[in-house]
Amino acid sequence: MSLEDRIKATAKNVEGKIQEVVGDVTGDPQAKAEGQAKQAEASGRHTVENVKDNVKKMID
């Protein structure tokens, strides 16, 4: 996984966690759901990049 992709995925995860907490504190279910969706997206990005790394290791 490139460092740039890892940083982007981590930033998206942090952004999602913050948005989820803000939505929870303010009672805004839409903001909370959007934050959770961003976290899921970040998790997916990490998974894809990890698979790429594993394939690359197998090829090398």
Q: State the pLDDT at residue 3.
A: 83
Q: For residue range 11-50, what is the model confidence (pLDDT) as tens digits?
A: 999 999 999 999 999 999 999 999 999 999 999 999 998 9
- Domain boundaries, given as residue ranges, for the chain: 3-59
Q: State the pLDDT at residue 12.
A: 96
Q: State the pLDDT at residue 2.
A: 79
pTM attached to this predicted model = 0.83
**Spatial distance between the Cα atoms of 30 and 50, rounded to a whole number of angstroms:** 30
Contact 5/53 with Cβ under 8 angstroms? no
**Considering Cα of 4, then 17, then 39, then 56, what sign does the dihedral take?**
positive
**Considering Cα of 48, then 50, then 51, then 52, what sign does the dihedral take?**
positive
**Considering Cα of 5, then 49, then 57, then 59, what sign does the dihedral take?**
negative
